Amino acid sequence: MRETEATREAAQVRRNWLLSLPALLLLAAGAIGPLFIMLIYSFLTPGKYGNVEWIFSLDAWRGILFTRDIFDETLKLADAHLTIFWRSVRLSFLTTVFTFVVGFPTAWFIATRPPRWRAFWLFLITIPFWTNLLIRTFAINQIIRNEGFLNTFLIKIGVISEPLNLLYTDLAVFLGMTYVYLPLMVLPLYAAIERFDHRLLEAGYDLYASRLAVLRRIIFPTVKPGIIAGSILVFIPSLGAYVTPRILGGGRNMMIGNFIDLQFGQGRNWPLGASLSVMLLVVVTAALLIYVRFANRDRGHG
Amino acid sequence: MGSDDGFIEIIDVTKAFGPADRRVYALGGVAATIRRGEFFTLLGPSGCGKTTLLRLIAGFELPTSGEIRLDGQEIGHLPPFRRPVNTVFQNYALFPHMTVAQNIGFGLEMLGKPKADIAATVERMLALVKMTDLAGRRTDQLSGGQQQRVALARALAPQPKVLLLDEPLSALDLKLRKEMQVELKRIQLETGITFIFVTHDQEEALTMSDRIAVMSGGKILQIGTPREIYAHPTNRFVADFIGETNFIRARVQGGKAIVGGEVEVPLPAAPAQGEVTLAIRPEHLRLVAKGTAGALTATVGDAVYFGTDSHVHLTLGDGTGIVVRQQTDPDGREGPAPGSVLGVSFPPAAVQVLED
């Protein structure tokens, strides 16, 4: 009797797989297909007017870090590329840290309101999502440009006499990304803090921990999964950010996203764009894997 | 100031919550003196202010007025981390990201003790609460009783002058609770630390405490040893809350209380005239034949059988309901039949005159 039950169960499993096969195929094609094309393109030769020529080449991969000298054809480190990578990593890191510094008190504030008010505060946090990212970024552009609201105001009240040159600087990109990605930090932090048992605070104070010690030794370790999730959610899209550095950084302060875009546009070097994209994907995947390791260890055994 | 046995002095402490125009007093003028090394219990129903008083001593709340002194020093306005007082929380509040040993060592670590000292103390505490084998466990892998022991060890490790226990046994099942009562008492005797124990369980209070403060409505109604509280309750609430009690109205005449116009009870200290309430424990009442001298006449209602004894409910002539606890006969005879009229007698010493 057990055997028939087992076979029936196996048949059921088979049927389930068959039934979901079309959806799975579609998902696989949609998700893996473009990546696969990207991977292949990264090993080809750039065409004259964009596009690719089907000649195998490792130039695109070499081109991530090196440029060929125009005259003697020797390979040199591509300083411009490194600057862009470094700016991307640095700005993404700063954005992550700053969204945490601003987001943690915000999330703490929301999570410690009476339950019926929490939904309201969370709702306020999500309001920016109602407007297109492009429009919001242009709004920041309007605020911080030389004749913009911020400079006009500061000059009017006499704090400065010359407008601050904010637009098209790394600072502008950093401010813009902090603004854009802040909710992505606040929401997972909120989720973690809401589950935090506030009696642990009293236990900490009772055991001679100062406020700072309670924050460092009790609150942060307990809400760590939220901190990690928020950091990943901010860092990864920051690394690939396109719109914000484009509008607030101008042409000069490029990040990886803009650099990739450049290869498919003016640069007419699709293979390089493809190899850069794959590289970005690998970096992001590595970051995610580290996250999963962290999160598992946190929940894990003793 | 402070008498020689006044280790903790609670002097006219009040605690109010809410805005100035709608203040709610959780504590309305509480005074108590707790001795060094004592097992002192705050007993009362929920909302009586016992937990508020405990939190004031711990420092989680600050008193609205009044003083709290520990060993002669005013501590009422210090933050909790500046008071040599530790708490065992009702739901333990163990740190989930730390092992058992880390939990126990946390207080010492915060006090900046050297690592070797911490390790030695943690070891000692683990032995004290019989948890040595589980030192490396995460706290979420422990049973309720084990968590309770860790919470106790964690609070004892910094060697506080006073240990506060906020209904620490209420989350345990009956058998475990009995076990932990014995354990707590043992640990208190072994460490010699002053325990202030909050509970709503009168039996727990009676079996464990050196002295009990019975609280109600934000006030302490009576402080005394378990025997004093049980045998000589000074007011109706205490008599009613601790154990079961029969309340009988009586008229005072010439230093004697007259019950139901038939029985005279000599009173040691009573008003010369007027009405009083007498309290008599059910186990001090005895069923006798109707018409026995000195016995009240009562009609038998129903009887509830408990095995070792049964509770017989009766009605006095004026309609007052009383309960008599009757030991079960060795020969297993039935109790009195409902509806029969009997006498109820009691020794004069069993009678307590209550303030209303």
Regarding whether A220 and A87 lie in a shared domain, the answer is yes
Return the pLDDT at B1: 42
The SS3 of residue B34 is strand
Same domain flag for A60 and A160: no
Nearest CB to B158; choose among A204, A208, A210: A208
Domain shared by A140 and A231, yes or no: yes
What is the arithmetic mean of pLDDT over A211-219? 95
Residue A214 lies in a domain: yes
The pLDDT mean for chain B works out to 89
The pairs formed by A228-231 with CB atoms below 8 angstroms and a separation of 24 or more are A228/A291, A228/A294, A228/A295, A228/A298, A229/A188, A229/A192, A229/A291, A229/A295, A230/A99, A230/A100, A230/A103, A230/A184, A230/A185, A230/A186, A230/A187, A230/A188, A230/A189, A231/A96, A231/A100, A231/A185
Asked if residue B13 lies in contact with residue B53, where contact means CB atoms within 8 angstroms, the answer is yes
The structure's pTM equals 0.80
Helix (H, G, I), strand (E, B) or coil at B60: coil
B5 band by pLDDT with thresholds 50, 70 and 90: low
Structural domains of chain A, count? 2
Domain final residue, candidates A68, A88, A121: A68
Nearest neighbour of B79 by CB, restricted to A197, A203, A205: A205
Provide the pLDDT for residue A3: 67
A98-112 average pLDDT score: 96
How far A230 CA sits from the closest chain B CA (Å)? 19
Q: What share of chain B is helix, strand, coil (3-state, %, to 5)?
A: 30, 35, 35
| CB-count burial class (<10 Å; 0-12, 13-18, 19+) for B319 | exposed
Neighbours of A260 (CB within 10 A): 23
**Confidence band of A297 (pLDDT split at 50, 70, 90):** low
Find out whether B214 and B238 touch, Cβ atoms under 8 Å. Answer: yes
The answer as to whether A252 is a domain residue is yes
Asked if A189 and A224 sit in the same domain, the reply is yes
pLDDT tens digits along A235-258: 999 998 999 999 998 878 889 999
Q: Report the mean per-residue pLDDT for chain A.
A: 89
What is the distance in angstroms between the Cα of A109 and the nearest Cα belonging to chain B?
A: 20
- A153 and A195: one domain? yes
CA A2 to chain centre: 51
**Average pLDDT estimate for A219-226:** 92
Residue A15's pLDDT is 92
A167 has which bridge partners?
Answer: none
- Is residue A110 included in any domain, yes or no? yes
β-partners of residue B326 are: B310
Closest alpha carbon to B182 in B221, B107, B130, B217: B130
Task: State the CATH number of the domain containing residue A264.
Answer: 1.10.3720.10
* Residue A172 included in any domain: yes
Asked whether residue A122 falls in the same domain as residue A250, the answer is yes
Confidence of residue B271 (pLDDT cuts 50, 70, 90): low
pLDDT tens digits for range B34-67: 999 999 999 999 989 999 999 999 999 999 999 9
Please judge whether A206 and B110 are an interchain contact, meaning their C-beta atoms are less than 8 angstroms apart.
no
**pLDDT band (50, 70, 90) for residue A89:** very high
Transcribe B283-332 into DSSP letters.
GG-EEE-TT-TT-EEEEEEEEEE-SSEEEEEEEETTS-EEEEEEEPPTT-
- pLDDT tens digit sequence for B8-31: 999 999 999 988 888 889 999 999
* B232-268: pLDDT as tens digits: 998 899 999 998 899 988 888 777 778 877 777 777 6
**A73 assigned to some structural domain:** no
Q: What proportion of chain A, given as a percentage, has pLDDT over 70?
A: 96
Question: Do residues A54 and A104 both lie within one domain?
Answer: no
Whether A64 and A93 share a structural domain:
no
Q: Is residue A294 part of a domain?
A: yes
Do residues B294 and B345 lie in contact, with contact meaning Cβ atoms separated by under 8 Å?
Answer: yes
Reply yes or no on whether the pLDDT at B3 is more than 50.
no
Contact B248, B297 (CB under 8 A): no
**Of A68, A90, A109, which residue is a domain's last?**
A68
Q: Which of A199, A208, A301 sits opposite B93 (nearest CB)?
A: A199
Query: Which of B54, B88, B106 to substitute to test the interface with A, most A CBs within 10 Å?
Result: B106
Tally of CB atoms within 10 A around B261: 8
Q: Is residue A213 part of a domain?
A: yes
Residue B171 pLDDT level (bands cut at 50, 70, 90): confident
Dist. CA A197–CA A218, nearest whole Å = 10
Question: Whose structure tokens read 């009757």?
Answer: B326
Boundaries of domain holding A50: 2-68
* Residue A2 clears pLDDT 70, i.e. is over it: no
Of A73-87, B141-155, B279-293, B324-338, the least confident: B324-338
Nearest CA in chain A to B163: A206
Q: With 60 as the cut, is the pLDDT of residue A1 above it?
A: no
CA distance A267 to A149: 36
Per-residue confidence band for B71, with pLDDT thresholds at 50, 70 and 90 = very high
Both A26 and A45 in a single domain? Answer: yes
Residues A25 and A92 in one domain: no
Measured between CA atoms, the residue of chain A closest to residue B137 is: A302
Same domain, A160 and A238: yes
Q: Which residue from B65, B230, B121, B304 is spatially nearest to B314, judged by alpha carbons?
A: B304
How many contacts (CB atoms, under 8 Å) link A and B?
68
- What's the Cα-to-Cα distance from A267 to each of A47, A219, A261, A264, rounded to whole Å? 11, 49, 9, 6
At residue B272 the predicted structure's pLDDT band, cuts being 50, 70 and 90, is low
Last residue of a domain, one of A13, A37, A68: A68
- Report the pLDDT value the prediction gives residue B268, as an integer from 0 to 100: 67
Interface test with A, best of B75, B95, B161, B196 (most A CBs within 10 A): B95
Quick check: A289 contacting B, CB < 8 Å? no
A92 plus A195 within the same structural domain: yes
Per-residue pLDDT of B116-126, as tens digits, reads 999 999 999 99
